[in-house]
Amino acid sequence: MASQVLVAANRGPLSYALDDDGTLTARRGGGGLVSGLSAALARQPEALWICAALSDADREAVRRCVSEPGVRMLDIDPTTYDDAYNGIANSVLWFTHHHLYDIPREPVFDAEFRRQWDSYVAYNHAFALALAEEAGEGAAVLVQDYHLALVPGELRELRPDLKISHFTHTPWASPEFLEMLPDDIRSQLVWGMLGADIVGFHTWAWADSFLAGAHIDDTSGIARPIGDPRRRVQHQRRGAHIRYTDVAVYPLGVDGDELRALAHRPEVNDKLAALRTDVGDRRTIVRVDRTELSKNIVRGLLAYRELLTVHPEWRGRVVHLASAYPSRQDLAVYRSYTEAVRELAERINEEFGTADWQPVLVSVKDDFARSLAAYRLADVALVNPVRDGMNLVAKEIPVVSDAGCALVLSTGAGAYGELREDALTVNPYDVTATAQALHAALSMPAGERLERTKRLAAAATALPPTDWFTAQLSALREA
């Protein structure tokens, strides 16, 4: 049956487990975005979520024609998938959009890159074909993230009747970084995005970066941003009519009621009791991140060490609860970064720790219940990414903190635009300024901290996932 609302994303709302006896069991995905999108799609008749089969069990489910209502998984060749996901999406596009390259050495666009790019094209093509097959006449298709940047352009060729949007959950590269890509690759990337009626971002900072890099005049055609209040790009493929792509901003928030309910489950209360035993009556600085290069965990730890050095009055009176969950450990640079985080935390504990005080408590296990417990215990939240599409942790901690928390937030977080008035904001590269901000946050009077927290929580919950999705769907239908 043809679908009238379709979501395309690398990761779906569920995954499969394969038991020893060959039984397949579906497991729902976690996270606010998946929950919000699933809830929003449930309200749409004949809605469909198209995603990749990520595991052997997922691929086995596809081969057996096992599926859940409203979900279609694509069994993409594992080598093609690995090239597209790890080789291009996570090792090229992620690094480009987050400005992570070690410029004297990277990037290197050679024959191996071209081979992997062909896989990225094939991966996007598989999604475009599936969407074209499943979409009803005039359906709304909402494509998610940098993994699928080419899909709108391909789908536009296959099904010009469709309403298509693309939302990028990361930052968008500045023109200087985007132009590092080979000219033909950059052109393919931008033309792929311009196949959409609407391209969306979390903040105008990222939207304006896209607009700045959308000037194209090549063999494919001509594209140029036009200066009207709606921020749009006028573009024309060779031999085709003029089209427009609107550039819009939808700052994803959190579902406050759902998050608070999750944060007060029995298992979270148990984790909270354990943390209180470890922390005692000391103040807490909390951070929760994957060991992702853009999250800037090492500089955060250096700032904490400088705080203890410059303000010795905090020694023995504060504990840094750092959840640093290993991420992308199949990539060597991420394994090295994760080890650097562990080693620096150990050095801080060796330098300042005493028999009854461990300055840093690091958790490297993906433990959502412990993270929520740390949120509730937070006196200070440290969120200092060098560059981040949004960073929902900056929004989640003020929503669930039991006694209110002071937020130290870097200018590189997408959340900075919404939260900066009530946060203590820092340059993510300035370790000394971050240490000073931590001192100010720890010293903040309880009344001021509570009032700031209330305003931060109100901003954080302004556009929860279901409303975020519904706003985009409404705009797309009217496009």
Mean pLDDT in residue range 446-462: 97
The mean pLDDT value for 405-430 works out to 98
Give the mean pLDDT of the chain.
94
Where do we find the tokens 């990520």? Answer: 54
How far is the CA of 314 from the CAs of 116, 347, 439, in angstroms?
50, 18, 9
Share of the chain above pLDDT 70, in %: 99
- Environment class of 292 (CB within 10 Å of its CB; exposed 0-12, middle 13-18, buried 19+): buried
Q: Report cis status (omega within 30 of 0) of the bond before 326.
A: no
Tell me the two tokens of residue 49: 């979520």
Q: How far apart are CA 238 and CA 219, in angstroms?
A: 8
254-267 pLDDT per residue, tens: 999 999 999 999 99
Per residue in 199-238, pLDDT (tens digit) is 999 999 999 999 999 999 999 999 999 876 679 999 999 8
pLDDT for the residue 31:
63
Give me the pLDDT at residue 4, please.
Answer: 95
Q: Which amino acid is at 100?
A: L
Using one digit for the tens of pLDDT, what is the confidence trace for 338-396?
A: 899 999 999 999 999 999 999 999 988 878 999 999 999 999 999 999 999 999 999 99
What is the C-alpha to C-alpha distance for residues 200 and 191, in angstroms, rounded to an integer? 15
Q: Which residue has the higher pLDDT, 120 or 226?
A: 120
pLDDT tens for residues 95-118?
999 999 999 999 999 999 999 999
- Residue in the block written with tokens 């927290």: 453
How far, in Å, CA of 448 to CA of 456, rounded? 12
DSSP structure class, residue 421:
G
Q: Tell me, what's the pLDDT at 42? A: 79
First-to-final CA distance of the chain: 25
pLDDT of residue 30: 66
Determine the pLDDT at residue 3.
Answer: 94
Give the integer Cα–Cα distance in Å for 441 and 312: 16
Q: In the structure, how many helices (H) and strands (E) does the chain have?
A: 19, 18
Q: Is the pLDDT of residue 35 over 90?
A: no
pLDDT tens digits along 284-300: 999 999 888 999 999 99
pLDDT for 65 equals 92
pLDDT given for residue 371 in this prediction = 94
So what's the pLDDT on residue 32?
A: 61
The stretch 56-70 carries a mean pLDDT of: 93
Asked whether the predicted pLDDT for residue 40 surpasses 70, the reply is: yes
- Residue 151 pLDDT more than 90? yes
pLDDT at position 479 over 90: no
Question: Residue 37: what pLDDT?
Answer: 80
